[in-house]
Each structure stands twice: as C-alpha cells, then as structure tokens.
Structure 1
Amino acid sequence: MGSSRSTRHLAAVAIVLCSLQDLVTAGGRSPVIIIPGLAGSVLEEKVNQANPRPWYWFCQGKHDWQVLWFSLQAASRPPCLLDEMQIRFDGATGRYHNQTGVEIRPYDWGGLTGVAALDPDAPAYSGTYLELINGLKDEGYQERKDLFGAPFDFRLNAEGLQQVGFFKNLTELVEGAVAGNPGTKATLIAHSMGALATTFWLARKGDQWIDAHIAAFISVSAPWQGSPTALKGSISGDNFDISVIPHDLLRPLQSTAPSGPWLFPAADLWGDKVLVETRGGDKYRAADAVKMLHDLNLTQQAELYGRSHAATYPLPKLRVPMYCLHGSNVSTDYAFQYDVDHFSAAPPPAPANRTTGDGDGTVDIRSLMACKEFGPQVKIFDFPNASHLGILQQKDAVKGIIDLIQTGNTRRHLYRRFWQSLQQIKNSLLQPWQQVLASRRAGSKLS
C-alpha cells in the first residue's frame, strides 16, 4: 500500500515537472523582428509604361527596380512619385492594384536596409529604427541571423496586405527565425501602424502557433483607437509640420491610400466630440467619417472605410505578453477648423485653427493608452516629451526596448538552467521506481 502511494506521489511530481517544461522557453537569445510604421518602410518600384504620363515629360516611362520611397531622386519629381504610388481599388473584384505598368514592393525583405532609415542612401539623416538596430547589434545581434526587418507596403490596409502576401511572408519569417535559433521564440517590435498590422495578423493566428513562436510583442507609438491627424491627411494634406513642404503636397496619396481610413479615430473613443468643422457650420464626428469623405468626393476612401477601419476596431484579444511604449506631453492635434463654407471636390486650404491636447504629436494620449484593453498581460511605458517618431531615437526609449528584450533573454537563460536542474532531480527520483514498475509489469505478464 505504502509503495503504491509513493509511486503515485512520484508520478505526480513527474507530471508537475513535465508541465513546468511547457512554461519554459529553453533556448538562447530571442530573435527580433522589426515592423515599421506608416511611411517607415522603404519601397522600390519597377516601371514599364508604353505611354508614360505624357503630361509629365520628366517622368521615367521604363526602369528596372529602384528605390521609390524614400529617395532624393524620386522626391525630385513629386508629380511622378505621387502618381506612381497611388492605389486603385476594384469594388467588383475586391482587389487592390497599382497604376498600370507600375510594380511596387518592400525593399530588402528580412534584412535591415528596408526598415533602418527612410532613405537607404542617407541613413544618418533619415534614420527611423537605426538607433535600435545599432543598439541590438552592440548586444551581439546579427542581421538575418537573429535580427530581421519586415517592411511592408504602407499604402495598403490589412485586406490589401493580405492580398499581397505580407502576412504569409511574416509568418514564414518568424517561423524561419525560430527554427534558425533553436529553443527560442521571436520578439516582435512594431511602430505605429505597424502595430495595427501586427495585431491584425496575431489575432488570426491560433493560440498554439503563438505559444510556440512568439515571446513578446513590443509596440511603439501605436494608434490603438486611431488618430484625428489621419483625417487632416485626407481632407487637406499633412506635411507633418515640415514648413518647407507644402501642406497639400502629399494629399493625392493621402486621400486615396486604403491605409488612411484604417487610422481614422474610433467612434467608441471619441464619441460626440466634433473633430472637423467648417466655417459654414458643418460638423463631423468620428462616426461621420464616411459622410465627410463623400462631401470631399473621396469616393475610394469612403468605399474602403468599413473594410479598413474594422480590421482592428474594436481591438481583438491577444494572448501574448505585450509591452506598449509611447510618448506624451507633446502638443497633439485632435480637432480642425477649416475656413470654407462646405467641403467639395476642391481640396480646402490648411486648417485655419486647431484644437490640441496631450499626446505624442501625432496620436492622442487616450488612443495610445488604449493598449490596456488587451488585458492584464500588458505593461505600458510612458516617455514624457517623446514624439511619435522621435521616440525611436530617444536614448531612454531605445534602452528600454533593449532592456525588455535582454530581460526576456536572461529570464529564458535562467529558466533553462532551472529546468536542467529539475530534469536531473526528476531522473534521479524516478529511475529506481521506473525499474520497479518495469519489473512488476514483466511479472504480471508472466503470470
């Protein structure tokens, strides 16, 4: 009787120890996947147009793959750049298309050149993730070994990204990184709209896949409930407060891109607050986005609003450790007043007045803080006076991201050592009893 109880107790210990193994990430350093934000990916294009835009005689009608966004050469021909980057949506087929004769794709998939800086030829002057990448390299990370970039076509919404294979490619990139670093799970770092794309993707992966492949999801400056500044881009254009750039220069792209409505403010956060107003007394709230787009004759974005905005609103539940970093105490626009009687197909001038509040200069603080809605596994880190993009260059924030990754690596190392010790204890405890049980089974068979 006593021997039977002891056997059961040891078997219970073995079950507990085996269960602990499932909670441990036994392996080395977590591979890191970097996902940029809106306009943060380098894009390249190939053009083969029989009759290239005759009204733009200085546009190249034919050329092989070369950097489109962002390069000084492309920027020197703004009409060509903006025309070539426009997306067309076919409502009959539900498909997204480039301009005829134009192919566009992310640059250096899996590598770092497509995410480190806006202009690959001038990284020192256009760095985005450059500081973080250099910091991780200082810690021993190596490009394409355990440090990867996942640039994407930021013109598209989640549906469009699905069509061009971004999420399939991201899955394969993560699986390859985990397989190439045995015993590890990947850490995802996503900025701004990249965090929404990552959320859309993770919400459609099964818990079993996430448990096997994802160690943590680190978001930076994510507009979890959208941003009123996205409205300004579609209405009158957004020059990101760079005085040398005309306010409406990018409007042809901003007012047609499917990703624009994805970033529009969510009605459940903004409620009845008036976000856009005209001199003639027209008032638009977050829930009035489609009406506003129709009033501006932006029929494509009006048609795509539901397909785009619903991708991540309301926020889905994710079963993954999350760390959300954002800036604050930076004056941030959240309402705009336009000096026109009513909106029409003619683009209005820049806003005559703006109403501001707390945020990171691009996203309101309430939208940034909405990360808490993902659940109790979320930890939020606020970096005062850090701007939406500037946070990626702020030393404290970059160090914070690296510390989060390194803490996870250290924890995994300690867990691995701990598990090895438990394995030794389990083996020493169970070995004699396994022999006894084997003898008893053999005796039972003989009888």
Structure 2
Amino acid sequence: MASIITLVRLLLLLLPVPLRKHLWPASHQAEDLAGAGELLHPIFMVPGVSCSDLEARLTEAYQPSIPSCGALKAKGWFGLYENSSDISEHHYHKCFEEQMSLVYDPIRNEYRNLASVETRVPYFGIVKGYHQKNPLGPKWCLTRLIEALEEMGYRDGDTMLGAPYDFRYAAPIPGQTSQFYSHYFKELMELVEATSEKHHKKVIIFGHSLGGMVILEFIRSTPLAWRDKYIKHLILVAPTLSTGFLSSVIYLASGPQGDLLYVPKATALSLRPMWRSFETSIINIPSTKAYGHKPIVITKQRNYSAYDMEDLLTDIGFEHAIEPFRRRVMPKMNYFKAPMVP
C-alpha cells in the first residue's frame, strides 16, 4: 500500500500546478510527506534530447577543416555541448558542428564519432548534471519535477539519480550493436543494482521524451528476472516511440527547430547537416503501421506517405540515410515487445 501511495504522489507531480494543488492541497502535502523519506523508492530521472551535456577530446591525429578548430587538440577534455552561449562567444559554430557530427559505418551497421574525436557524457548518477541549453526557453529538463521530488524528500545522487546519455545515438533493440549504449546500459544496470541494494528497495525509472525511449530499450534489454528483482515502476512521459512523429520529417527537411538543439545565433538550416549526421534524426520517421498510406508530406510535385519515406529522403538530398534507415530504423518500427514492468 505504501508503494502505491508513493506512486500516486509521483504522478500528481506531473499534473499542471493548479490541478495538482486542487487534488493535493498544500495543507495535506506537509502531512503526507512527513516521515516519507523512509518509504521512498529510489528514482532515476532521464529527460529528453539535449538535456545531457557532452564533452569532447581531440587526439593528435585530429585533422580540422579549418585551423581554428584544432585549437583544443591534445589538450584534454572540454565542454563540447554544455554552455551553449560559449559556442557563439568563441565563434565556435563551424568547429562545434564538425566535432558533434557522426558518421554511419555500413560495415558495422552503427554510428560513430568522426576519426580522432572522442566524446563522453559527464555527471552520470546525478540529476543536477542536466542543463537547459536555452536559458530563455521553457524548462523542459525535468527541472520543476526534480525540485518537487526534493520537497518530497528525495536527494540528488542518493535516492534521486540521473542517467544522462548521448542524444546523438538511438538506443538499439536486441540484435543491433551500439558502442555507446553497450557501455551505457552496463553502467546503468550496475548503478540500479547498487542503489537498490543500498536502500533495500526496488527503484523507479522515469523517462521523458527521447529519455523515455532510451529507458524503454534499456529495460527491454535486461533479463526478466533482473527486472522483477530491481525495478518497481517504469514511468514514461511522452516517449518518442518507434511509431514516429511528423515533426521528425520537418527536422530532416528544414533542420532542428526551437529548443530541440539550441545553438545561439545559429539557424535551423545551418544546423541541418550536423543534425542529419545523428542517428537520432531518422529514428522517429513515421512508420507504416501507425500512419499507413495517408499523405504526411504534400508538395506540388507529389505526396508522400509513410510508405514513401525512402523516396522522400532522396528528394530532400538525404539519400545516404536510406541504408541506416533500412537496417537500424525499420527493425525498430516492428519491435513491440512489452517491458513487463508495472
């Protein structure tokens, strides 16, 4: 019963503030939360795209396209996508786009960094490592939810943990390889086990947007017995499921919009080549099972349905995405295995 009450409280935190206050008045919150710390199941928070930071290191073999991009070569780790204002202040746009870009390896059927560019995701295990890249944009990195959880008694790095990820890569399904996610899933699995054993409780995993897809694939990659032992609840809020979204087509055609990939003074079109290099850019192309033959792109020349996505990729000048689309995305569109977690 106690765990059900805790779950209800967590779900209440997802509601708009006026509705939450109506259903859970402040006078009741103080009473409900008194002594709740001992009942709290540890929770892992995994937000959407671009909330995680990314650091890079350029090896001696790095060959920059322009000399200024090699200024940090062989000088250790630096924040590649951390404080987005630094990109403009240091006139680093071209270098940023070059060093952030991925390449598809058809032999291994997976994406990787450019040669001599190494990357890592910092702050694994804490939620305060998530950063809003657009300081003037809406808070969508679970900031308010994290603050509300702290009011409930959750503590960063102890009962509330973060699992930041490299948003350029798409989480694989069984049978697909991913150098990044093979390490990420292993590290997350170990942290879940350690946290659960430390607090003698199963953990709750919360994923939002792309983070929801990452966590769903993590859960589905684990043995069922492991899930039964360590996972209390899986909560997915607006996950980017493999059925696809119309907005993904817009981003492919015109570049990432709004806060999806915020870089000061950069236009969506200027970021489009870099965005197209990410595996993430094609992972949510509309699927035939969800969209059927209904036109989703209408032009003067022709209309395109979900069955015409390869033609669309060719017509927008992105034909080299067809192979990874066939080999990495289409299998995901037909993978509907339930996570088997309440």
| 1:70 lines up with 2:82 in the alignment | yes
Mapped partners of 1:146, 1:180: distance in 2: 10
Judge conservation of contact 1:42–1:106 (CA < 8 Å) in 2: yes
What are the within-5 Å matches in structure 2 for residues 49-88 of structure 1?
49-50=60-61, 52-55=63-66, 57=68, 60-62=71-73, 63-71=75-83, 72-76=85-89, 77-88=92-103
User: Residue 42 of structure 1 aligns with which residue?
Assistant: 53
From 166, 173, 181, give the equivalent of 1:153. 166
Q: 1:230·1:263 contact (CA, 8 Å) conserved in 2?
A: yes
Give secondary structure in 2 for the equivalent of 1:167.
helix
How far the C-alpha of 1:84 sits from its partner, in A, is 0.7
Aligned to 1:171: 189
Unmatched 5+ stretches in structure 2: 1-5, 7-37
Query: For the Cα contact (< 8 Å) 2:44–2:161, is it kept in 1?
Result: yes
User: Superposed, which structure 2 residues align to 1:316-335 within 5 Å?
Assistant: 316-321=337-342
Match of 1:197 in 2: 214
Over 3 Å counting, the alpha-carbon distance change for 1:239 and 1:142 in structure 2 is: same
- In structure 2, C-alpha distance between the alignment counterparts of 1:300 and 1:169, rounded to whole Å: 33
* Alignment of structure 1 residues 220-235 onto 2, 5 Å: 220-224=237-241, 225-235=243-253
Q: Does 1:105 align with 2:120?
A: yes
Provide Cα deviations, 1:275-297, integer angstroms capped at 9, x if missing partner: 12333x22221122222223334
Q: Which runs of 5+ in 1 are unaligned?
A: 1-24, 322-447
Q: Indicate if the aligned counterparts of 1:52 and 1:60 stay in contact, CA closer than 8 A.
A: no
Structure with the greater alpha carbon radius of gyration: 1
1:187 pairs with 194, 204, 208, which one? 204
Alignment-derived partner of residue 135 in structure 1: 148
How far off is 1:178 after superposition?
0.6
**CA displacement 1:266-312 (0-9 Å, x = unmatched):** 21111112112333x22221122222223334244221113134336
Q: Which moved more, 1:230-239 or 1:242-251?
A: 242-251
- Tell me how far apart the structure 2 counterparts of residues 305 and 75 of structure 1 sit (CA, whole Å): 33
Do the aligned partners of 2:59 and 2:117 also contact (CA within 8 Å) in 1? yes
Q: C-alpha separation between the residues in 1 aligned to 2:96 and 2:139?
A: 18
Residue identity opposite 1:101 in structure 2 = S
Secondary structure of the 2:68 match is coil
> Cα 1:59–1:126, aligned 2, differ >3 Å: closer, same or farther?
farther
- Identity level (%): 24
Q: Secondary structure of 2:129's match?
A: helix
Q: 1:103 to 1:161 in 2, by over 3 A?
A: farther
Q: CA deviation at 1:55?
A: 2.9
Match of 2:132 in 1: 118
In 2, the alpha carbon distance for the partners of 1:275 and 1:167 equals: 35
Contact 1:239 1:248 in 2 (8 A): no
Structure-2 separation of matches of 1:198 and 1:180: 22
Deviates more, 1:71-80 or 1:235-244: 235-244
Decide whether the 8 Å contact of 1:158 with 1:308 is kept in 2.
no
Distance 2:267 2:46 in 1: 29
Q: Check conservation: 1:48, 1:61, Cα contact below 8 A.
A: no
CA drift of 1:248 comes to: 0.8
**Does structure 1 conserve the Cα–Cα contact (< 8 Å) formed by 2:126 and 2:157?**
yes
Q: CA deviation at 1:212?
A: 0.9
Question: Do the aligned partners of 2:50 and 2:133 also contact (CA within 8 Å) in 1?
Answer: no
C-alpha distance 58-104 of structure 1, shift in aligned 2 (>3 A):
closer
The alignment status of 1:248 with 2:292, answered yes or no, reads no
1:297-342 per-position Cα deviation (integer Å, ceiling 9, x unaligned): 4244221113134336443222112xxxxxxxxxxxxxxxxxxxxx
1:299/1:107 Cα in 2 relative to 1: closer, same or farther (>3 Å)?
farther
Question: Structure 1 residue 54: deviation in Å?
Answer: 4.1
Q: CA RMSD in A?
A: 2.9
| Matching residue of 2:16 | none
Task: Please state whether the residue corresponding to 1:287 is helix, strand or coil.
Answer: helix
8 Å CA contact 1:86–1:99 kept in 2: the answer is: yes
Residues 214, 312 of structure 1: alpha-carbon distance in 2 compared, 3 angstrom cutoff = farther
The corresponding residue for 1:269 is 290
How far has the Cα of 1:214 moved from its partner?
A: 0.9
Residue 215 (structure 1) aligned with residue 232 (structure 2): yes
> In the alignment, residue 79 of structure 2 is paired with which amino acid?
V
Whole-angstrom CA distance in 2 between matches of 1:161 and 1:28: 39
Give the Cα–Cα distance (whole angstroms) in 2 for the partners of residues 95 and 161 of structure 1.
7
Normalised TM-score (structure 1): 0.60
Bigger relative CO (Cα 8 Å, ≥ 6 apart): 2
